[in-house]
Structure 1
Amino acid sequence: MTATAVDRSRSRSNRGLKGLAGALGFVCLVLFLMAIEQKQAMDAWAMLRDEAAPAAGRIVGWAVDGAVDGVDGLKSAAEGSDDPLAATPNAVVLAGEFRAADDATRETVGAATFTGALIRLEQGDVLRTRPLRIAGADEAYSAARKAFATELDARPNAQIELRQVIPHARAGTVVASPLCGGEAPGVVALLHRRDRVDMMLFRGRTIVGPDAPADALCGVWRFRAR
C-alpha cells in the first residue's frame, strides 16, 4: 500500500478562500439590504414631496415651540387639506416680535409675537393655532368674492398661511374675543413678507373661501419687525 502525502498548505488555503468568500457574501447581502432600504426611503420622500407637499409645511408649523398636542397634533398637521399648493422650500418659519405698522393695528391689537403655534397680541389676546392649509393670494376668502391679494396688496401667486384657532386646553373651547365682536375666532390668515406680516382673523366655524359669509372676516392687522 502506498501512502499519499497531504498538501496541508493547500488545504489551509482553500479553507481561507472559503472563509473570505463567506465574508464577502455577507457584506454583499448587507449592502443589498441597505440599497433596498435607501430606495424605499427615497421613494417615501418622493411621495411626500410630490403627493403630500402641503403636509410638509403644516408639520413644520406644528413642530416649532408651542405645538403641545403631541401625536394627535402631528397627525392633524400631516392630514390637513388636499390642496395642491405647498409652502415654498425656502419659506422662513414665522417667529419673533412685530410692532404695529399702522394706527388701526396699534389701537386695536398693538404688537404681535409669534412663537410657533401661539400668537400673542399686545392688547391681551393669545391665539393658539394649528396648521390648516396654504391658500393662494388669488383665492376669494368670502362670498364677497374679494381675494386675499386685493385685501393684502399682494401678488396673486403669494402664499397665505391659514391656521385654525384651537382651545388652549384639550377639553376647553376657544375663548370669545372683542376682535371678533364678542364671538370666538376660528381661522387666522397670515402673509409673511420679509419684515412684514399681515394678519386676517375670521370668526369661528368659518370655512375660508368663496362660500364664507361676507361678515366672517373680523379684521385685518399689519405688523413690521421690530
Structure 2
Amino acid sequence: MTATPVNRSKGRSNRGLKGLAGVLFFVCLVLFLMAIEQKQAVEAWAAVRDGAAPAVSRIADWAADGASKGLDGLKTAAAGTPDSRPTATPNAVVLAGEFGPADDLTRETVGSATFAGATIRLERGETLRTRPLRIATGDQAYNTLGETFAARLNARPDAQIELRAVVPNDRQAAVPASPLCKGEAPGVVAVLHRRDQVELMMFRERTIVGGETPVDALCGVWRFRAR
C-alpha cells in the first residue's frame, strides 16, 4: 500500500489569491482617501466600508475557490446577486408639490415652497437646483456646538434628513448670492419630509455639514405644510 501524495499547491495558490485581493483593496482605499479632503474622509470611509466590503468578501471567496470561471467569475462575484442590492422601501414617499409656510418667520422670509425633483422654488424668487449628497440622521450634529438636527427640527433621533448640494443651473457659472444667506451663495440644504410637513435648513457655500460646521454657516430654518 502506497501513500497518496497530498496536493498542497492548490491550497497555497488559493491563499495567495485571497491575500492579493485584500492587498489590492487596501491600496485602492488608501489612494481614494488621499484624493479627497480630510474632512470628507470619515464620510467616504463609511460609504466605502458599507458599499464595498460585501463585494470584497465575495471576491475573496471567489479567489479561495480557485478563481473559478476566470474573469466572468470575478465579475459575478463583484456584482453580487440583484436581490442583495439595496432598494427603496415600497412605502417611500417622493417629496413633490407645493407647500405653504407653517410659521410667521417662513411666511415673511421665503413664502411658499414648491418641490419638483431636484428643483426647489421659493415664493420670494429663489430657485435652487440641487443634487443628492447623503442622508443624515436626527441625532447627528450640524455645528460645532453639537446641536443636532433632531433638536432643531423637533424630530426623532432616527429621523432621516436629506442633505442636498446646491448647484448652478445650465445658464449659470456659479450659484448666485442670496439674501437668505446674508449675501452669500447657498451651498447645502437639509430637507426633512414628514407626511404633510417639510423643514428646510440652508447652509452657505463651501460648507461640509457636520460636527465641525461653524455656527454662522447656517443661513436659516424654514417650515412648510402641504396645501
TM-score by length of 1: 0.63
Partner of 1:165: 166
The residue number in structure 2 matching 1:138 is 139
Q: Aligned partners of 1:133 and 1:89: how far apart in 2?
A: 20
| Deviation (angstroms), 1:46 | 3.9
| Superposed displacement of residue 48, structure 1 | 2.8
Q: Secondary structure at the match of 1:107?
A: helix
Structure 2, unaligned runs of 5 or more: 1-72
Q: List gaps (5 residues or longer) in structure 1.
A: 1-35, 50-55, 58-87
Equivalence for 1:149: 150
Given residue 163 of structure 1, which amino acid in structure 2 is its aligned partner? R
> How far apart in 1 are the matches of 2:103 and 2:172?
37
Shift of 1:153: 0.1
SS in 1 for 2:120: strand
Q: In structure 1, how many angstroms separate the alpha carbons of the residues matched to 2:172 and 2:100?
A: 33
Matches within 5 A, 1:1-226: 43-49=80-86, 90-169=91-170, 172-226=173-227
- Alignment-derived partner of residue 57 in structure 2: none
Give the partner amino acid of 1:48: R
Q: Paired residues, what number? A: 153
| TM-superposed deviation, 1:44 | 4.0
Q: Deviations over 1:55-77 (max 9, x none)?
A: x67xxxxxxxxxxxxxxxxxxxx
Indicate the SS of the match to 2:85.
helix
Letter in 1 for 2:186: P
For residues 156 and 148 of structure 2, the distance between their equivalents in structure 1, rounded to whole angstroms, comes to 11
Aligned pair in 2 of structure 1 residues 46, 199: CA closer, same or farther (>3 Å)? same
**Sequence identity (%):** 64
RMSD over aligned Cα atoms: 2.2
Q: Secondary structure at the match of 2:80?
A: helix
TM, length-normalised to structure 2: 0.63
Aligned match of 1:78: none
Deviation at 1:144, TM superposition (A): 1.5
